[in-house]
Amino acid sequence: MHWKIGMKSATRIMLLLLTIGALSACKGPGEAYYDKGGDLKNLADKMEGDERVKAYQNAIEQLKLAVEKEPENGKFISKLAKCYKNIGDWENAIDCFKRATEVDPDDSENYYNLMKVYVRNGQFEEAQKVYNFAATLDVIKRAPRERLHLDEALTELNMARRAAEQQAAHFTDEVVPAQDSLTADQDEPTTAPDETSAVTDETVAVSSDTAVTTGE
């Protein structure tokens, strides 16, 4: 069977092929690693336990290669930071999110995530600094939804602060009575005064008897 293709159909097919080729050519050198790392991250998001951690680590390896190929790509860096965050690697997550805010300052999600990681790592003052800076950005001011996300991170920060303060106060309440008790124990005499007096009198009496016996 012979198929006849009209001029219009042939032109459409040619344009489609050219478009596909152009899209492929537009992909940067790190895009393939990014796609693979993203797929692994999506898989890890659905897993639990050691398998989840291992899947994130595999995603991290691919995303690190992507960032090496395109070190100024904020999308790549942000995805890598999220993987670090999800396995509790706060130090690397902070470094990556900070870098992402520098490379792509208009991506408000990076500020939100950076705040959350600082809070999880107990760095409350740093989280507050991020909020104070991000709240002044036009990208946040113009987007109510983005400001809402930032305020949610601030709420989490304030709750974590209060929890830390309550824990510190509870610890102080436990330590001070224990120290007072220890001091009181140290102040108590090891021998009762009456017993000491009795021992001393008995010793004097024995000494006198000894002296008399010696004289005889």
Question: Which carries the bigger pLDDT value, residue 211 or residue 87?
Answer: 87
Q: Is 35 within 8 Å of 59 (Cβ atoms)?
A: no
- Regarding whether 155 and 117 lie in a shared domain, the answer is yes
Residue 42: CB atoms within 10 A of its CB come to: 11
pLDDT tens digits for range 188-205: 555 555 554 444 454 444
**Domains: count for the chain:** 2
Q: Is 37 within 8 Å of 57 (Cβ atoms)?
A: no
- Regarding whether 74 and 110 lie in a shared domain, the answer is no
Cα separation, 40 vs 16, in Å, equals 30
pLDDT of residue 1: 46
Quote the distance between the C-alpha of residue 125 and its chain's center: 14
> Average pLDDT, stretch 167-173?
85
Assigned domain for 48 exists: yes
Give me the domain span that covers residue 65: 30-92
Q: Is 122 within 8 Å of 91 (Cβ atoms)?
A: no
Look-up of token digits 């999308």: 75
Assigned domain for 50 exists: yes
pLDDT tens digits for range 69-112: 999 999 999 999 999 999 999 999 999 999 999 999 999 999 99
Q: Is 56 within 8 Å of 72 (Cβ atoms)?
A: no
Assigned domain for 188 exists: no
Cα separation, 74 vs 100, in Å, equals 5
pLDDT tens digits for range 137-150: 998 988 899 999 99
The highest-confidence range among 112-126, 131-145, 173-187, by mean pLDDT, is: 112-126
pTM reported for the whole predicted model: 0.69
Which CATH number goes with the domain that contains 46?
Answer: 1.25.40
Q: Is 153 within 8 Å of 119 (Cβ atoms)?
A: yes
